[in-house]
């Protein structure tokens, strides 16, 4: 596979050169639009902020349209992201009940319609595709656009808006593990200026290895378009139930290969009482106010109320027991969170000419307020005495004793965050072929944590004492730990169009990310993370039949906070110690959308990256090692051929593709290795008038694969073998 990956990457420029002559002039584009219909020069993604066409954005942005997601049978966000180069699932603290992804080796933030979605990528939720029109991915640091943002970039879910046409649709999909997904939507114009839309979804799955997942969601949207305004109000309700596997499969014994142990992939080492329930209520309001021909004021606000109740595994180590190996030091953590998140933005945007140069200028301000409470306790679990024939000895959740002490992570704290930012973004056409983009932002971050009850110092509450001492301290009532930071972020980029279908782009961007989440409240006192990216590339876009881009980049991430679990010398559990490290990733990405024939579309991407730890003060010997959870090579391809039927637009679609990810390390010490895998998929659809019937098989050759390393490298979470899906959809009117 290594040779094939290199061959595919090397062949991409020749595929472009050998393609048919240009059919339509579109100009240089900074994105690849995947799917059957493309319009890369005219689209303006929300992650660009200013409404600038994609052709003029000097940043790597990729869009995944709903049409492509449906072809692949995708129902969750992670299903769609195979179409974005350089993205991988997992990372430290990937516990199985929320989405966690990296791009170019760095963590990603989540947005919905351009506003923050969840307080952190750590401890969020599993995103469905209910009511999602497209997925936008901005790669690299985005703090100059979004303030407190992860250095890897941002994933933005763009939902359907109410329209002026009566429409409705319903679909149902059935697949492996008794998985059913039912979606329904209706759009009703109430008057010439008012429209309403409702999107709903119910998903229920027994899940691979018993990881049950049930989701019920409903979104109600109201659009109001009086003269000069485009107002949108959306109310959301999410009822999410997931079974988290925070342990996965054990890696081989200490003297072994470092690969996952040779156990049955169906084995379950997580407690049968693991659960993660979330209730999310969100209100979103926006207005695009066209003051005059040259000024538009965008106003956006959202309020999210989120309740989390969970119990998940923690710890566990492989121990020789007789002639076999067992899992000892197992624990179960019970946690409840209440989170209230309010954000408001005001962004006037002007379009004017400075002499002969067209200018788009956005100035904005943002206020975000987060108030949360979290409570955690930890119970010891009996040993699993034989990893090859595992039996989880715990019989009832009520029989467990939850503790709070030096060897049992616990907390009872209230958390607060106040984020304020002012920013400006300028998009300048220096000439017809040369575009310059400048962004600058000043942020003020204030985060705090305070105990609600007196608890002992333990791995879930310890923080640097104030004033600093040789030891750490616990959270106590009336004595909040407060951190204040002011950070400046900026980015600059240019696009130069050498020819009508050939352009160069490049830029620099930076980010600042104050660490704030309920999973690790002790991190509130840590220095904010900082990230940078330098990027340069080339794009070829001679028409809507071809879009090709190739980019090289160097990213950095500093002040990364993590917790390392180490065995308690007394043998009663695990101790945790804070670790702070830094790393960089150098890489090369290629993205291709090609339509050799009107009925045939091919999309693909290939990423080659070199992730390396650059600083690890607690363990200097780790410097130079590979970054955990970052594969060196990622490749994906998908192709669709449409066979026309007699009816207008009726057709048969035949699709297929492959996914490849190379081996990578699950820990910084390079003792736990997840092997790579290639998976092949195929699908077919019959589309007649308003009806669509689709079926597909994923991982046709039943290849062993692993999704990510669980927790902080504690185990390997396997992916399913061969699976299938069938679906039926109808547009009611």
Tell me the pLDDT of the chain averaged across its residues: 89
Phi-psi region of 15 (alpha: psi -120 to 50; beta: other; left: phi over 0): alpha
Least confident interval from 252-261, 279-288, 540-549, 599-608: 252-261
Cα 254 to Cα 714: distance, rounded to the nearest angstrom: 13
Token pair for residue 685? 């659809």
For the stretch 624-683, pLDDT in tens is 999 999 999 999 999 999 999 998 889 999 999 999 999 999 888 898 999 999 999 999
Report the C-alpha gap between 309 and 123 in whole angstroms.
Answer: 12
CATH number of the domain residue 531 falls in: 2.40.170.20
Dihedral pair phi/psi, residue 382, rounded to 5°: -65, 160
Encode 325-356 in three state secondary structure.
EEEEEEEEEEEEEEEEEEEEEEEEEEEEEECC
On the question of pLDDT at 7 being above 60, the answer is no
**Among candidate residues 109, 208, 202, the one with its CA nearest the CA of residue 153:** 109
**Measured between alpha carbons, how far is 453 from 466 in angstroms, rounded to an integer?**
19
Stated pTM of the model: 0.91
CA-wise closest residue to 446 among 470, 481, 411: 481
d(CA 195, CA 166): 9
What is the pLDDT confidence band of residue 94, given thresholds at 50, 70 and 90? confident
- 22-78 residue pLDDT tens: 333 333 333 444 444 444 556 888 888 988 877 788 989 999 999 999 999 999 999
Q: Is the model's pLDDT at 571 over the cut of 70?
A: no
For residue 419, give the H/E element and its range. strand 411-429
- Give the distance from CA 113 to its chain's centroid: 15
Mean pLDDT computed over 558-577: 59
Which DSSP category does 39 fall into?
A: -
The DSSP code for 431 is: S
Stretch 422-451: mean pLDDT, rounded?
95
Residue with token string 């007196």: 454
Residue 601: pLDDT over 60: yes
Give the phi and the psi of residue 57 in degrees, each rounded to 5. Answer: -90, 120
161 secondary structure, DSSP code: P
Contact 100, 81 (CB under 8 A): no
Cα–Cα distance measured from residue 657 to residue 412, given in angstroms and rounded to the nearest whole number: 48
Residue 350, C-beta contacts closer than 8 angstroms, at least 6 positions apart: 294, 295, 359, 360, 361, 362
Question: Which H helix or E strand runs over 67?
Answer: helix 66-71
CA pair distance 120, 169, nearest whole angstrom: 33
24 burial via Cβ count (<10 Å: 0-12, 13-18, 19+): exposed
The sign of the torsion formed by the CA atoms of 710, 716, 718, 719 equals positive
Instruction: Examine residue 294 and state whether it is found in any structural domain, yes or no.
Output: yes
Q: Coil, strand, or helix at residue 16?
A: helix
Q: Do 33 and 26 meet the contact criterion of CB atoms below 8 Å apart? A: no
Range of the domain at 425: 40-468+478-732
Among 223, 614, 568, 155, smallest CA distance to 378 is for: 568
For the segment 252-275, the average pLDDT, to the nearest whole number, is 88
Q: Which residues contact 491 (CB under 8 A, 6 or more apart)?
A: 59, 141, 144, 437, 438, 439, 507, 508, 509, 510
Collapsed DSSP state (helix, strand, coil) of residue 422? strand
Which of 341-355, 382-396, 400-414, 564-578 is least confident? Answer: 564-578
> Does residue 304 have a pLDDT over 70?
yes
* pLDDT, position 465: 81
- What local confidence, expressed as pLDDT, does residue 29 receive? 37
Residue 256 pLDDT greater than 60, yes or no: yes
Spacing of C-alpha 92 from chain mean position: 14
Q: Mean of the pLDDT values across residues 531-556? A: 92
- Of residues 236, 61, 222, the one with CA closest to residue 131: 236
Label residue 2 by pLDDT band (50, 70, 90).
very low
Q: Tokens 């990216």 map to which residue? A: 533
Specify the number of domains making up the chain: 1
Residue 689: inside a domain, yes or no? Answer: yes
Q: Which residue has the tokens 């790597």?
A: 60
Burial of 132 (0-12, 13-18, 19+ CB in 10 A): buried
Asked if the model's pLDDT at residue 711 lies above 90, the reply is no
Is 70 exceeded by the pLDDT of residue 118?
Answer: yes
Structure confidence at residue 95 as a pLDDT band (50, 70, 90):
confident
Residue written as token pair 């050498």 = 498
How confident is the model over 268-294, as a mean pLDDT?
Answer: 96
Query: In angstroms, rounded to a whole number, what is the distance separating the alpha carbons of residues 553 and 507?
Result: 10
Residue 712: what pLDDT? 59
Three-state DSSP state, 50: coil
The Cα 335–Cα 419 span in angstroms is 26
Cis bond before residue 576 (omega within 30° of 0): no
Contact yes or no for 141/149 (Cβ under 8 A)? yes
Asked whether residue 174 carries a pLDDT value surpassing 70, the answer given is: yes
Residue 188 tokens read as: 């009703």
Residue 588 near residue 559 (C-beta atoms within 8 A)? no
Query: Are 393 and 383 within 8 A, CB to CB?
Result: yes
* N residues, the chain: 733
The mean pLDDT of 424-442, rounded to a whole number, is 95
Cα dihedral angle (559, 562, 568, 571), rounded to 10 degrees? -160
- What was the pLDDT predicted at 579? 75
386-411 tens-digit pLDDT? 999 999 999 888 889 999 998 899 99
The mean pLDDT value for 689-702 works out to: 97
Nearest Cα neighbor of 7 from 435, 614, 633 is 633
Q: How many CA atoms lie within 13 A of 588 on its CB side?
A: 8
31 occurs within a structural domain: no
pLDDT score of 255: 64
């Amino acid at each position: 596979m290594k040779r094939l990956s290199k061959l595919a990457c090397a062949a991409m420029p020749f595929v472009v050169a050998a393609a048919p002559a240009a059919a339509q002039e579109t100009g240089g584009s900074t994105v690849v639009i995947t799917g059957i219909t493309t319009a890369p020069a005219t689209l303006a993604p929300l992650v660009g902020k200013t409404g600038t066409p994609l052709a003029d954005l000097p940043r790597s942005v990729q869009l995944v349209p709903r049409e492509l997601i449906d072809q692949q049978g995708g129902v969750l966000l992670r299903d769609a992201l195979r179409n974005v180069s350089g993205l991988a699932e997992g990372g430290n603290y990937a516990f199985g009940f929320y989405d966690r992804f990296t791009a170019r080796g760095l963590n990603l933030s989540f947005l919905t319609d351009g506003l923050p979605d969840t307080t952190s990528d750590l401890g969020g939720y599993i995103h469905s595709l209910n009511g999602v029109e497209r997925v936008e991915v901005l790669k690299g640091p985005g703090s100059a656009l979004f303030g407190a943002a992860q250095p890897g970039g941002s994933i933005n879910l763009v939902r359907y808006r109410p329209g002026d046409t009566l429409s409705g649709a319903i679909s149902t999909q059935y697949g492996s593990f008794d998985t059913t997904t039912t979606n329904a939507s209706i759009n009703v114009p109430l008057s010439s200026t008012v429209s309403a839309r409702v999107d709903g979804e119910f998903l229920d799955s027994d899940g691979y290895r018993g990881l049950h997942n049930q989701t019920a969601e409903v979104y109600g949207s109201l659009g109001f378009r009086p003269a000069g305004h485009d107002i949108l109000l959306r109310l959301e309700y999410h009822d999410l139930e997931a079974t988290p596997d925070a342990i996965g499969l054990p890696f081989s014994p200490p003297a072994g290969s470092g690969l996952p142990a040779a156990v049955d992939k169906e084995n379950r080492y997580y407690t049968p009482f693991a659960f993660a329930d979330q209730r999310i209520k969100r209100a979103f309001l926006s207005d695009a106010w066209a003051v005059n021909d040259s000024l538009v004021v965008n106003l956006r606000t959202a309020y999210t109320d989120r309740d989390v109740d969970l119990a998940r595994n923690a710890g566990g180590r492989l121990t020789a027991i007789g002639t076999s190996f067992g899992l000892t030091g197992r624990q179960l953590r019970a946690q409840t969170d209440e989170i209230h998140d309010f954000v408001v933005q005001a962004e006037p945007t002007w379009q004017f000419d400075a002499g002969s140069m067209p200018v788009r200028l956005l100035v904005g301000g943002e206020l975000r307020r987060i108030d949360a409470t979290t409570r955690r306790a930890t119970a010891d679990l009996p040993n699993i005495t034989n990893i090859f024939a595992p039996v989880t000895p715990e019989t009832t959740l009520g029989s467990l004793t939850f503790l709070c002490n030096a060897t049992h992570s616990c907390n009872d704290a209230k958390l607060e965050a106040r984020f304020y930012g002012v920013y400006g973004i300028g998009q300048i056409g220096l000439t017809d072929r040369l575009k310059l983009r400048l962004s600058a932002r000043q942020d003020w971050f204030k985060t705090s944590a305070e105990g609600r009850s007196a608890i002992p110092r333990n791995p879930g509450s310890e923080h640097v004492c104030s004033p600093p001492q040789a030891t750490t301290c616990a959270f106590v009532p009336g004595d909040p730990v407060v951190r204040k930071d002011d950070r400046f972020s900026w980015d600059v980029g240019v696009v130069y169009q050498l020819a009508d279908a050939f352009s160069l782009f490049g830029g620099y961007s930076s980010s600042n990310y104050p660490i704030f989440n309920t999973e690790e409240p002790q991190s509130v006192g840590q220095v904010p993370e900082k990230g940078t990216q330098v990027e340069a590339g080339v794009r070829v876009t001679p028409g809507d039949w071809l879009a090709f881009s190739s980019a090289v980049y160097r990213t950095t991430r500093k002040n990364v906070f993590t917790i390392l679990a180490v065995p308690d010398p007394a043998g009663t559990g695990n101790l945790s110690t804070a670790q702070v490290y830094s790393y960089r990733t150098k890489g090369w990405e290629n993205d291709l959308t090609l339509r050799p024939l009107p009925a045939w579309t091919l999309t693909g991407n290939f990423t080659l990256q070199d992730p390396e730890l650059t600083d690890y003060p607690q363990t200097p010997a780790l410097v130079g090692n590979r970054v955990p959870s970052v594969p060196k090579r990622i490749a994906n391809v998908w192709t669709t051929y449409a066979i026309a039927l007699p009816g207008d637009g009726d057709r048969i679609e035949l699709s297929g593709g492959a996914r490849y990810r190379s081996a990578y390390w699950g820990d910084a010490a390079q003792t736990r290795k997840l092997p790579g895998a290639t998976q092949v998929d195929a699908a077919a659809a019959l589309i007649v008038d308003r009806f669509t019937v689709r079926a597909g098989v994923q991982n046709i050759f039943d290849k062993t694969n692993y999704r990510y390393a669980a927790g902080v490298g504690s185990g390997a979470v396997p992916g399913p073998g061969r699976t299938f899906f069938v679906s039926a959809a109808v547009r009611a009117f």
